[in-house]
Amino acid sequence: MTHGYTLFDTAVGRCGLAWSEAGVAAVSLPEGDDAATRARLLKRCPGAQEQAPPPQIARAVEQVVGLLEGQSIDFSDVPLDLEGASPFERRVYDLALRIPPGETRTYGAIAKDLGEPGAAQAVGRALGANPIPIIVPCHRVLGADGKAGGFSAPGGVSTKARMLTIESARTSDQPTLFDAEISIAPKRGR
């Protein structure tokens, strides 16, 4: 299968996206430089050629850029090439795709939704192997205690936290300063 790839600028740095005729095959978050980002894409899609993306893939690039700028983006219309993913991984990715921006789920909740309540660690491994981070939003899946768990993209857990911050995601039930719907600041006198 022939693959193409492109590198593009985002609010968090230069990312990359590779595709095949079937759809998006890989996304790379910013590495140290373009060569490292390119190498990550080529590891997933050997032989891919750098080129301008076709219209549907160009739209996916725009959506990734928008999400990383804080826009609420729905990736459900993006075609995916999950060749090489196991049936279990595909089921996990399908459930992760349903988590809207600004929301999170736990590894255990996804395992339960799969009908395999004891498979939280297997869910974590599947998400760790996710070749299409951001589009398949593995960053929205947390440990039962609200902790980040892991994140296989460059920067690890700090990158995951940054992405959740960009999306204004809640990572626990604890209120924060920014949850108040009305201002608690004292009124200014005239």
Asked if 15 is an active-site residue, the reply is no
Q: What is the 3-state secondary structure (H, E, C) of the chain?
A: CCCEEEEEEECCEEEEEEECCCCEEEEECCCCCHHHHHHHHHHHCCCCEECCCCHHHHHHHHHHHHHHCCCCCCCCCCCECCCCCCHHHHHHHHHHHCCCCCCCEEHHHHHHHCCCCCCHHHHHHHHHCCCCECCECHHHEECCCCCCCCCCCCCHHHHHHHHHHHCCCCCCCCCCHHHCCCCCCCCCCC
Catalytic residue among 119, 138, 142, 166, which?
138
Give catalytic residues, as residue numbers.
Answer: 138
